[in-house]
Chains A and B, each alone.
Chain A
Amino acid sequence: GGKPGCPSCRMPTLEPGTERRFLLELAKRQILEKLHLSERPNVTQPVPRVAIANALHHLHVGEAQRDGQLGSFAHWDGPNADELGYEIISFAKTEFSSPSSTGLRFRFSRGPGQDVHILQAQLWLYVQAPWSGLSPAMLRVSLGGALLSERQLEAQASGWHTFALLPALQAFFRGQEKTLRLELECRGCQANATAGSDAGGSHQPFLVAKATMREPGQRVAKR
């Protein structure tokens, strides 16, 4: 309707109400299409805001960089043109908890045929201290019974510890599984030292990863 638009583009001049409806629909379609989502996500189990704030704070403050680890949740040199580069923080759900061990569960989804390539992966764990006994404690991270990483905890104070888990996450994303289960075992610690997620959600363990994702049928990017 309205005044005749540009004849060669047949784009009519939009009335204000039409313009608003048209642009809001266009924004929705653009965002879903470019995020490779078929519909908007429904956030059914919101993560406690304090856990999110804690995670983003630690990732931004460069804590991990002080340990010489990766982990800045900041922009990096970016993916190839035909790949979507992204960073993800996945908060653990506690699957089981005994005085010396905790089971963590992470969930990841990807569309059919989507090819996800993990570039960096790191587990963040909060450990309560002091632990029982004089000998330093040993913290072990396993996947399906296979040891992924272990660390002797020197400091007596509670705090965050990070574990690089790149090979494990790359292998996981090569499969079709949606749920990643990790086991934590803390020898020589006090009871429930790694059950961070029970501490009101502010010390929920989380995984942070950087990845590129290519849609099915997209040409292989030359590196």
Chain B
Amino acid sequence: SLRCDQTSNLCCRKDYYVDFRDIGWNDWIIKPEGYQINYCMGQCPPHVASSPGMASSSHTAVLNLIRAHNVRAGGQSCCVPTHRRPLSILYFDRNSNIVKTDIPDMIVDACGCS
């Protein structure tokens, strides 16, 4: 999917970096110092509905054009994450033990229309 820019209001990925110092959590989270949370935003008009970002094939494009001509079949479509990555984290637990784990589905990598 596309990264958001000023020129389009179509469904895209908006990048945003969360620094753990900004939330005062850098004392118990040892590594990393922050992470790309990112989120999806933008319109999903009928002709791109259910297209999974730029990965859509020509078949999907034709299907969407047909759907765009009878909008009723289109239904509501939302700009949602279509691919997310885990976040590896090293932190202190309440007993001052060091814990390392991979938190699943934390970083939004790609967006698409549901």
Contact = CB atoms under 8 A, between A and B. Distances in A.
A86 B102 CA distance: 7
Interface stretch (B50-58, B59-67, B91-99): B91-99
A36 to B, nearest CB: 10
A14 B97 CA distance: 38
A112 to B, nearest CB: 15
A89 B98 contact: yes
B74 to A, nearest CB: 10
Given A6-B79, A9-B79, A34-B104, A86 B99 contact: yes
A72 B15 CA distance: 34
Contacts of A31: 25, 89, 103, 106
B101 A28 contact: no
B96 A46 contact: yes
Interface residues of B, number: 35
A150 interface: no
Given A8-B76, A84-B101, A42 B94 contact: yes
B100 to A, nearest CB: 5
Contact of B23 (A27, A55, A107): A27
A85 B60 CA distance: 38
A27 B78 contact: no
Interface in B78-114: 78-79, 88-89, 91-104, 106
A88 B41 contact: no
A43 B96 contact: yes
Interface size class of A (residues with CB under 8 A): 35 or more
Contacts of B100: 73, 86-88
Interface in A27-78: 27-28, 30-31, 34-35, 40-47, 52, 55, 73, 75, 78
A85 B79 CA distance: 31
B28 A43 contact: yes
Contacts of B5: none
A109 interface: yes
Contacts of B37: 23, 26-27, 30
Interface string B16-41: 10100011010110000001010101
A8 B104 CA distance: 27
19 contacts: A6-B43, A8-B44, A9-B44, A27-B37, A30-B106, A31-B89, A35-B91, A41-B91, A41-B93, A42-B28, A73-B100, A84-B101, A86-B101, A87-B100, A88-B93, A88-B99, A88-B100, A90-B97, A109-B93
9 shortest interchain CB distances as A-B pairs? A86-B101, A8-B76, A107-B95, A41-B94, A89-B98, A90-B97, A9-B78, A27-B18, A34-B103
Given A26-B37, A84-B101, A108-B95, 10 more contacts: A27-B37, A30-B103, A31-B25, A43-B27, A44-B96, A75-B88, A85-B102, A86-B101, A107-B95, A107-B97
